[in-house]
Structure 1
Amino acid sequence: MISSIRNYFTVKNYQSEVSTSTIEPWERVLFNSVIAMSITLFMYTAFANFPEQNFNFHHSIGDYHSFCL
């Protein structure tokens, strides 16, 4: 299990190195920074809004249930 996860990330790292091999090192840093920032902002937004969405979902289930009866 651990070796397959390690192999997956090794392949993805190799693919990243091959696809960005033609750009300058500072461009690679900028590209990786934009990707990391995008993932970070997505995770923050997902975790910050999940409790509110979860709360609204549980309250709306009662509306759908009473509508179907």
Structure 2
Amino acid sequence: MGWRQHKVAVEYDGAHHWTNRAQRAWDIDREAHLSSLGWTLIRVSATQLTTRPQTILTRTHQALARSASGT
């Protein structure tokens, strides 16, 4: 999920993102590419979704606020 106008994206990383070496390498390269384009990527795990959803909301809110303020 993302906000193109703010260059903020939230992505869920399932187990295969950590256990599959090729997927992990692709994720690292993709994150570096998005960062070079000015995107903020907020990565989310199952534990965060189920036990700490407020953390995700806080990080997303902060990233969107930074984007809106131009910093």
Higher helix content, 1 or 2: 1
The bucket for the TM-score relative to the shorter chain is 0.3 to 0.5
Higher strand content, 1 or 2: 2
Flag the structure with larger Rg. Answer: 1
| TM-score, structure 1 normalization | 0.35
Relative contact order (C-alpha < 8 Å, sep 6+): which is higher?
A: 2
| TM-score, structure 2 normalization | 0.34
